[in-house]
Structure 1
Amino acid sequence: MHQLPTTTGSAFDALSRELALVVARDGRIEWVDARAERHGLAPASDLGASVVPGCEDKLTDLLRRAAEEPVSAWEVPLVLAGKPVTVSFAAQPVDGRIALLGSLLPQDYADSIREADRAVHEIVTLNRQLARQKIRLEESNNAIKALHTELEQHADRLRTSAEIKSRLVAGVSHEFRTPLHSILGLSRLLLSGSDGPLNDEQQTQVAFIRDSAEELSRMINDMLDLSRLDAGNAPIRAARFALRDFWSALRGTMRPLVRDDGAVALVFEPAPDVELETDQGKLAQILRNLIANALKFTERGVVRVSAVVADDELRVVVEDSGIGIAAADQARVFEEFVQIDGALQRRATGTGLGLPLAKKLAEALGGRIELDSTPGVGSTFTVSLPLEHAEIDAFRKLEIAAQTPDPSRAPVLVVEDDRSAVFVYERYLAMAGFQVLPARTTDDARTLLQQVRPSAILLDVMLEREDTWNFLADIKRDPATRDIPVLVCTVMNRESRARALGADEFWLKPIDEDKLIRKLQTLAAGRSAKVLVVDDEPAARYLIKKFLEATPYKLLEAADGLTGVQLARSERPDVILLDFLLENMTAFDVIDQLKADPRTRPIPVIIVTSHALPVEERRRLAESTEAILSKEHLSRELAINRIRDALRHAGIRERPPGSERGGT
């Protein structure tokens, strides 16, 4: 049987910071030593009554555990001798009771403990606040994602709506043209009297029919033009012409619109003696709309048309003495189907398409329209546009550059009459290391073929007023050019005819950029396939070098990722064998840099690694690489087969061994 501890007061005086007591399981004190008595603890009292309020659970947990097993370093805040103090208890069960040996902690330590408790409490509180904030942020993020998705869906609907509108306008307009032409033709036939004269009343009626049909025809034409401009399908047909000749033709066109009563005079001031190089038809359409509008809304006075040239810019001014436009309405007149309300406007016929169309045409020519108007005084429209369309200057520079072939870049003959399309080809083909030789006509293309042999010909078979099918047939019949690959790129599906005439490829516009570059890279004649090995282990590079001996492949080596990317850009290999883990880089870093550059984006990549890749990393690599090979199982046959697979998937036909010798 365990004996209760006994001691003397002198012993506890030596151990002045310790006390001992025995308590029942419910905390009732059964025995205390002298030190405990001096601190106010007495037998038959409740130890729980000395606990600092709010800390009762700490004593309860201590007694519950100590009744079953020894416990040490259990801290309980007590009020002893009227002062709060922290006591660290060691306890153990003794014959159904609990013996406690307490050590009073120094006040500074106790304070630090309390501070730590408060800090822990604050941290817990802060964590709870952060958790709530995280939930709110997640909810906000989800709301933003939902809003973003909704905006994307709305944008898709708008794009779809715009496309449907464009198709509907184009389709309906074309369908309207056929019956309109019949109405116009028949009304003119009736007015001509070829089948017998009409009486005055009949002539008036038929004239009304003709005028209404002509107005509807103009509206349809304007709608079609706006639809093309909105869709970006209005090509610029820039050509050089004299302003004075254009001025004279415009004056003759507009004279019939002047009323016979002489209330309004149309005056053309003499034009400067200057030449322009822009789209003459679109410029004429702009000015016709502005002049017709001025005549329509001028009841009496003059409509004056003048032109000046300043700073390589033509400025045409159409000034009238009509009803004018209020400042609040001046922006609205350039909106489609908008007409300002007023007595004269209600009497005048029209659809509200003339000014919006003129504005968009001016912008397509690189210019602008400005309006200055005062109600009751008149309006002044000023059209400003460059003497030379920007496409002309850019295209001329491209043609001049093409006259000096760059030996470091493979030439590609682009036969295309749309300058915008040529610029698109030039932009990404030049970045991929090709030199674009532009030809807007088949005659230009034939001339260039006499001067240079291109790696490939990019041909649009829908050139305006050109028989490109005969050009394609001539290319494939001529022994000097029949081996040049011809890639037909057009908007009409005529693949069977193109293939029959010898086209090597047929693509519908718009062309996939990577696909085109990859195909052209395979057609860059005169070399065997290049294989770039990027690995920081010399032994691994040596092993692959031995594997590829006696093969037609040309091996390039890089000992780190940055060098590998630089070699890929300068040498443009056909296949890259890439170690997964390089010094300071991973395969993901290298692939990101390769995909960011148009010159290296199409190059197939084969991962060669000695690491066991996690499923997620393997999945990510599989999305952007040709294959993933283990160094442990790598063999000559496996390496060569995977390289051949990559070349075949990229559309590269291998040269037979030895064929590169003596080639050019």
Structure 2
Amino acid sequence: MQPTTSSLEATIDALSRELALIVAPDSRIEWADPRAERHGLRAAAELRAAVVPGCETKLDELLRQAATEPVGGWELPLVLAGKPVTLSFSARALDGRIALVGNFVPQGYAEAIGEAARAVQEIVDLNRQLARQKTRLEESNKAIRALHAELEQHADRLRSSAEVKSRLVAGVSHEFRTPLHSILGLSRLLLAASDGPLNDEQQTQVAFIRDSAEELSRMINDMLDLSRLDAGNAPIRAARFALPDFWAALRGTMRPLVRESGGVELLFDPAPDVGLETDQGKLAQILRNLIANALKFTERGAVRVSARVDGEELRVLVEDTGIGIAADDQARVFEEFVQIDGALQRAATGTGLGLPLAKKLAEALGGRIELESTPGVGSTFCVTVPLEHAEIDAFRKLEVAASQPDPTRAPVLVVEDDRSAVFVYERYLSMAGFQVLPARTTEDARKVLEQVRPSAILLDVMLEREDTWNFLADIKRDPATNDIPVLVCTVMNRESRARALGADEFWLKPVDEDKLIRKLQVLAAGRGAKVLVVDDEPAARYLIKKFLEATPYQLLEAADGDTGVQLALSERPDVILLDFLLENMTAFDVIDQLKADPRTRPIPVIIVTSHALPVEDRQRLAESTEAILSKEHLSRELAINRIRDALRHAGIREQPPANERGGA
């Protein structure tokens, strides 16, 4: 159906044109003017076929939109006479079809459009590839998540099994100890003839009972120690001691184990005169196990114990002339409940826990045990441990850092004798913006309190050989410290007593990390100095707010000078951060109002500005403010240090973050 001449001419005349087309909604050309025909766009052809590949959707959208409303300036790249060109089409609906009038865009632009179209097509292809890759990755990710969930289930089961095992061992061992102690006590009473003498046969029988009970008691102690080590509940009690003194005590302890029948000598070479700082009890337990083991499996000859210092390590050798251990069995002797088969091994009593326990204890001290052995010749066990346990050095560094208060962090006094627990507190409290002040004794804690006023005190009331209950009572009795919050964190449920003595919180270990941090942040914020920020730029106020996060300061905000002055009167901030140029006033106007009122006159003011101030303005401000800071160079450290300086100059010495009595 051809359009009427009048309607066609009216439509075409209404538009500026280079060529004109009438197309059906499916892009089939129903009419083309002579210029369009010269470019190969003829009736009955598909306009879509002339579109640059990858741009077909632009044509579809043009036809769809023009069917409902006039469209202008719609650029569409076409291939005409074998060359890409771009036309800017205007279009409108005409009797159920679309009238198109196109203007040629300059050739350079058209070529760029063609290049862009090709780039678009490449991007489309790349997107398809990426979509396929994404699908494959999502499938792989689902498989990995399923595997991860399965592994988590296995890990949970293993953790549960390990916990059940540890609880079972600990529970059963403790239950065994009570009747064992009774057996040992009664057998010793009988052998001491406290209720009448025993005949020789009875003495022999009771001696066997006592020896068996002692062996069972040692076995239970070893099981308990292994259980603690596996669970990570064996704290290091490192202390300084002299090796010669330790050597003499060890020699005296082991002498009674030498069989009276002879045949085996226990020899201790002189120990080097050196000091150690490690867990003396654990080191003694390692060597006792190794020496007892050597005596047990040596029928003739000697067991020799010697020591030497090698750099920063102590090396102790336990050499015997016993039956030796085959190469294939040397790794197995450090496994729990393993005993090597042999006549002498079967004759010797034991559970196979001594060497595994010694190995784990050595590792807990940061050392190791090495074994060299030849069957029929003998064995040499070498224990190597650091002269100074790693915890000592780390704890010393922590104490040094604590002796230099950090003005950007709220101090927390941690009274805890377990160094590993202190390290745990230090790790997550430092990340939350607190400074840990460690104290392993109540005496150390009292010394810290003489120098620093902490935001809070974390107290373990089960310190070894310490009366921490009196320390808690003293803290709450002393007017200088009774308002410091005390959080009791311990393993024994003594909440009622702790509360009665004034503890602010009572938590059983292990303490939930997030809960502790939230509590300390509330306590610190509630006791901090007030900082008023007066700035009409929300971004500037937000930045300072972020700078002061995780500090003890309370932040007040004002978006204009009048509000800032009102807040200064009502809230009495300890320091004011004031923008130089505010809406409708300057810092001079605000300062004049503050200085005019005796209630706000003493408040120190810090100018924060993004403007380059004239020399005369800087001089005038310097007379009435604490400091002038550039927003360009403003940082968390600079802001906090200037706030602290202002507080110090104002005589505010006991409020965080300075926290030092008698001056900073």
Calculate the TM-score normalised by the size of structure 1. 0.62
1:264 positional shift: 1.2
Other structure's SS at 1:246 match: helix
Partner of 2:207: 207
Where structure 1 has 5 or more consecutive residues not aligned to the other structure, the ranges are 1-69, 76-107, 110-124, 573-654, 656-662
Distance 1:259 1:206 in 2: 20
Kindly indicate whether the alpha-carbon contact (under 8 Å) linking 1:180 and 1:213 is maintained by their aligned counterparts in 2: yes
Partner of 1:176: 176
1:135 positional shift: 7.3
- Within a 5 Å distance, the mapping from 1:448-463 to structure 2 comes to 448-463=448-463
211 and 135 in structure 1: CA distance in 2 versus 1, 3 angstrom threshold: same
Partner of 1:498: 498
Other structure's SS at 1:376 match: coil
Partner of 2:447: 447
Kindly indicate whether the alpha-carbon contact (under 8 Å) linking 2:366 and 2:385 is maintained by their aligned counterparts in 1: yes
428 and 532 in structure 1: CA distance in 2 versus 1, 3 angstrom threshold: farther
Paired residue type of 2:152: E
Where structure 2 has 5 or more consecutive residues not aligned to the other structure, the ranges are 1-42, 49-81, 84-124, 544-556, 580-607, 610-630, 641-654, 656-662
Distance 1:214 1:532 in 2: 76
215 and 520 in structure 1: CA distance in 2 versus 1, 3 angstrom threshold: same
Kindly indicate whether the alpha-carbon contact (under 8 Å) linking 1:187 and 1:210 is maintained by their aligned counterparts in 2: yes
- Output one character per residue of 1:267-301: Cα deviation in whole Å (capped at 9) or x when no partner: 11111111211111111100000001111111211
1:537 positional shift: 9.7
145 and 269 in structure 1: CA distance in 2 versus 1, 3 angstrom threshold: same
Partner of 2:643: none
Other structure's SS at 2:276 match: strand
Distance 1:465 1:128 in 2: 72
Partner of 2:106: none
200 and 499 in structure 1: CA distance in 2 versus 1, 3 angstrom threshold: same
Partner of 2:366: 366
- Within a 5 Å distance, the mapping from 1:414-425 to structure 2 comes to 414-425=414-425
Distance 2:430 2:136 in 1: 50
2:395 equivalent to 1:401: no
Partner of 2:296: 296
Which one is further off, 362-371 or 524-533? 524-533
Other structure's SS at 1:503 match: coil
483 and 203 in structure 1: CA distance in 2 versus 1, 3 angstrom threshold: same
Paired residue type of 1:521: Q
Distance 1:270 1:496 in 2: 54
Distance 1:539 1:398 in 2: 33
Kindly indicate whether the alpha-carbon contact (under 8 Å) linking 2:489 and 2:508 is maintained by their aligned counterparts in 1: yes
Kindly indicate whether the alpha-carbon contact (under 8 Å) linking 2:228 and 2:234 is maintained by their aligned counterparts in 1: yes
Other structure's SS at 1:361 match: helix
Paired residue type of 2:242: A
Question: 2:530 is matched with which residue: 528, 531, 534?
Answer: 528
Distance 1:290 1:296 in 2: 10
Distance 1:461 1:127 in 2: 64
2:251 equivalent to 1:251: yes
127 and 420 in structure 1: CA distance in 2 versus 1, 3 angstrom threshold: closer
Paired residue type of 2:418: D
Other structure's SS at 2:530 match: coil
252 and 410 in structure 1: CA distance in 2 versus 1, 3 angstrom threshold: same
2:186 equivalent to 1:159: no
- Output one character per residue of 1:413-438: Cα deviation in whole Å (capped at 9) or x when no partner: 22111111222222333344433322
Partner of 1:14: none
Other structure's SS at 1:287 match: helix
1:176 positional shift: 0.4
136 and 455 in structure 1: CA distance in 2 versus 1, 3 angstrom threshold: closer
Partner of 1:187: 187
1:477 positional shift: 0.8
1:150 positional shift: 1.1
Partner of 1:382: 382
Other structure's SS at 1:337 match: coil
Kindly indicate whether the alpha-carbon contact (under 8 Å) linking 1:222 and 1:357 is maintained by their aligned counterparts in 2: yes
1:139 positional shift: 5.3
Paired residue type of 1:472: L
Kindly indicate whether the alpha-carbon contact (under 8 Å) linking 1:279 and 1:365 is maintained by their aligned counterparts in 2: yes
Q: What fraction of aligned residue pairs are identical, expressed as a percent?
A: 79
Partner of 2:429: 429
- Output one character per residue of 1:6-34: Cα deviation in whole Å (capped at 9) or x when no partner: xxxxxxxxxxxxxxxxxxxxxxxxxxxxx
Paired residue type of 2:318: V
1:199 positional shift: 2.3
- Within a 5 Å distance, the mapping from 1:203-352 to structure 2 comes to 203-352=203-352
189 and 521 in structure 1: CA distance in 2 versus 1, 3 angstrom threshold: same
- Output one character per residue of 1:200-226: Cα deviation in whole Å (capped at 9) or x when no partner: 222222222111111110010001111
| Number of aligned positions between the proteins | 467
194 and 403 in structure 1: CA distance in 2 versus 1, 3 angstrom threshold: same
236 and 571 in structure 1: CA distance in 2 versus 1, 3 angstrom threshold: farther
410 and 542 in structure 1: CA distance in 2 versus 1, 3 angstrom threshold: closer
Other structure's SS at 2:270 match: coil
Other structure's SS at 1:236 match: coil
- Output one character per residue of 1:142-161: Cα deviation in whole Å (capped at 9) or x when no partner: 43332221111000000111
439 and 131 in structure 1: CA distance in 2 versus 1, 3 angstrom threshold: closer
Kindly indicate whether the alpha-carbon contact (under 8 Å) linking 1:545 and 1:555 is maintained by their aligned counterparts in 2: no
Kindly indicate whether the alpha-carbon contact (under 8 Å) linking 2:326 and 2:373 is maintained by their aligned counterparts in 1: yes
Q: CA RMSD in A?
A: 4.0
Other structure's SS at 1:481 match: coil
569 and 170 in structure 1: CA distance in 2 versus 1, 3 angstrom threshold: farther
Paired residue type of 1:178: T
128 and 377 in structure 1: CA distance in 2 versus 1, 3 angstrom threshold: same
- Output one character per residue of 1:474-521: Cα deviation in whole Å (capped at 9) or x when no partner: 111111221222222222222222222111222222233343334333
Distance 2:389 2:245 in 1: 19
- Within a 5 Å distance, the mapping from 1:634-645 to structure 2 comes to none
Calculate the TM-score normalised by the size of structure 2. 0.62
Distance 1:209 1:143 in 2: 61
314 and 127 in structure 1: CA distance in 2 versus 1, 3 angstrom threshold: closer
Paired residue type of 1:527: A
Other structure's SS at 2:337 match: coil
1:189 positional shift: 1.5
- Within a 5 Å distance, the mapping from 1:465-614 to structure 2 comes to 465-524=465-524, 525-528=527-530, 535-536=538-539, 550=567, 552=571
1:536 positional shift: 4.9
Other structure's SS at 1:182 match: helix
Distance 2:432 2:374 in 1: 56
Distance 2:392 2:338 in 1: 34
Kindly indicate whether the alpha-carbon contact (under 8 Å) linking 1:532 and 1:568 is maintained by their aligned counterparts in 2: no
